Amino acid sequence: MKISLKTLRRSQSGYVLTLVLCFLLAALIIFSYFMNWAVSSSRVSVDNNMFNISQAAAQGAIELTIAKMDRDFIYQTINDSNSYTPLVAGIDQSSWPVKFTFGDTNGHANQIYVSIYPQDWTTNFISDLGSQFSGLYGYAAQCTLIATATPTNSAYGMMSAVVQETANLAAIPVFQFGVFYNLDLDFSPGQPLTMNGKVHVNGTMWMCPQADAYFNDVVEATQVVTNKDNPNDQQNLTYNSSYRHVVSLTGGNPRNGVDALNIPVAGGISNVEAILNLPPVALGAPNAAAYYTSNQVFLYNKCDLIISNSFRGTNGALGTNFTIYYQDKDYSAAPNSLMQLTNNELCMISNKTSHVVYITNNPALPIPVVSNVLVASYFPFLTNVSFYDFREGKTVQAVQIDIAKLTVWLSNPATEGSNWNQTCGGANGMGHTPATDTGTKGHPIDTIYIYNSVPLTGTTLPAVRVVNGQQLPTHWGLSITTPMPLYTLGSYNIRTNTGGSQSMQTTNTAWTRPAALMGDSITILSASWLDSYPSSSAYTARNATNTTINAACLEGIVVSTNVGSTKHYSGGLENFLRLVENWSGDTLCYNGSIVVMFPSIYATNFWIGPGGSGYYDKPTRQWGFDSNFKTPDGSPPGVPAAKGVIRGNWAPLAH
């Protein structure tokens, strides 16, 4: 068969070529589109990366400024906003792959925008920023910072960024916490116990209760809240799940890894107990430096009355060896801000010829110097007392302050106590209006610092004891501070008027006044206590009676430790209030705030074993948090404040 080949006509070959070229053009267009998309996408990614880098640089500039503000706030006081707008000069960018210039929102180079509102400290609820301290109040400076960062040597564009940060520099009164520990907290009660109020721990909270136990508010720790027993507890307890749990494990409660909250100490001092001690000479009253904001952290510098005794302040009747100063930094310029009180309530006078001795309660009366001589004058609310502490194994030599007699002294027109307690006038502060109690400082005498000069030895323990404190002097309340151990005798702060309703054996604090007891440790002695108990007496012979204490307590503790392979338990939160009596069958009612800031310096003997190894038997503990402390007016006078930076959110303002 013959096959013939048919050639294409010219018109047909041109059509095929055109078709091929069209396909090629379409492919080029598609390729060009994808290439352009890839380049554009890459450029967007580079721009975004550059923006993120610029944003991080701007955030770094703000962090640098916040660090300066935080340093000043903690150790001095916050300055005005203009002090923080300039950035630190000479930032070394030599190792940075991208260099930046920084500015504020108005084009000013090498500075950022800083706003601090209000300039004066005011009371603001610090929950505005949704922090872990929500529900607490603080003296807060609300700050806004804005920074611009612009790259100067980027090969991929000059994507600048503007970011904003909000923050509060807050001073938070610590008595707003039901429990605040600057150390690890141990909690292993052997009987049912309910704790109210917010709990904050700058460390680990070891919880191994041996009975039903409840916390009715947020529990948080900077480390962890755990059901394990402290490894240094000689009891070697294990958690028993049959007991109802301490705190709900849902809803973010307890909280682990929260920010620490600290009380800073001026002068580069790292030990928090320094706030109770005599301050360094250069920083203490009556020097002008004592009244700088940074040095008011020393309670010695801010208390109304400063009381001290002789180093021979041993047991005796009404002491003549006491010295009292009234302190008012605004009344007279330093060094005259401390005024020694000499116009005392009781004076002993002797006739020169007959040697007849008599006492007058009106020292303002003229004393005929021809026939009489002033033998001694003294403060009737102060005395030196002695008793034995069975836990410490030492004889206590205590400055004792009688609150009932203090109230009389403050109201007696013949005394300087009354003169300074009331609205005063005149060069020497004499003259007053008894109907008011606002004093030269805008409030009456409501803070007292007591220093016991008796030396600490192997057998002697200097201390302070408060007695007859059922009713405090004024509605302003009373705070007592000492570097030494504190003791209370009988119920404290249970009524606001004689014969009226009482906050006794109840968690209802409607009939109390703001009160604080701050010292090296706190020991509760019931009204049945006798100073004559010999050191050899068994605790079963020291029977207690129902007692109520309504006061915030800031103290030290003896921490759990291991000494020479021997474990020693701290006693735990349940034994924060020390006891040395037989409380079996009695109730210890406590309403206040428990704040532990440091290891005790004076009262250092261990809590040893269940039941206290013979020096006390436990009471029924009925404890509550005084919610009055969560308001500025209800807070105890002179309350220390912890400081911290409370962060808001970063916000990019420009791209």
pLDDT tens column, 136-184 = 888 888 889 999 988 887 665 667 889 999 888 888 899 999 999 999 9
Return the DSSP state at 577. Answer: S
Average pLDDT of 379-397? 93
Predicted pLDDT at 13:
57
Instruction: Answer yes or no: is 125 within a domain.
Output: yes
Banded model confidence at residue 611, pLDDT cuts 50, 70, 90: very low
Between 502 and 547, residue with greater pLDDT: 547
Between 281 and 355, residue with greater pLDDT: 281
- The pLDDT of residue 608 is above 60: yes
Q: How many angstroms separate the CA atoms of 327 and 552, rounded? A: 23
Instruction: Answer yes or no: is 429 within a domain.
Output: no
Between 60 and 434, residue with greater pLDDT: 60
Domain count for the chain: 2
Instruction: Answer yes or no: is 128 within a domain.
Output: yes
Predicted pLDDT at 434:
37
Average pLDDT of 215-229? 91
To the nearest 10°, report the CA torsion of 284, 415, 380, 442.
-50
**For tokens 């151990």, what's the residue?**
485
Q: What's the chain's Rg over C-alpha atoms?
A: 35
Last residue in a domain, options 378, 400, 419: 378
CB count within 10 Å of CB 3 equals 4
Q: How many angstroms separate the CA atoms of 601 and 36, rounded? A: 75
- The pLDDT of residue 120 is above 60: no
Average pLDDT of 25-40? 59
Hey, what are 220's tokens? Answer: 């948080």
Last residue in a domain, options 324, 354, 378: 378
Residue 39's SS3 state is helix
Instruction: Answer yes or no: is 436 within a domain.
Output: no
Encode pLDDT of 300-332 as tens digits. 999 999 999 988 776 554 455 788 988 887 765
Average pLDDT of 23-29? 65
Return the DSSP state at 412. Answer: -
Hey, what are 547's tokens? Answer: 């007692």
CB 305 within 8 A of CB 323: no
Q: How many angstroms separate the CA atoms of 436 and 427, rounded? A: 20
Last residue in a domain, options 355, 378, 401: 378
Q: How many angstroms separate the CA atoms of 573 and 557, rounded? A: 10
Domain that holds residue 124: 25-88+96-175+644-654
Instruction: Answer yes or no: is 107 within a domain.
Output: yes
Average pLDDT of 394-409? 93
**For tokens 């191994």, what's the residue?**
208
Instruction: Answer yes or no: is 121 within a domain.
Output: yes
CB 494 within 8 A of CB 626: no
Predicted pLDDT at 358:
63
Relative to beta strand 137-151, strand 161-173 is antiparallel
Hey, what are 129's tokens? Answer: 């920023």
Instruction: Answer yes or no: is 294 within a domain.
Output: no
Return the DSSP state at 289. Answer: G
Instruction: Answer yes or no: is 11 within a domain.
Output: no
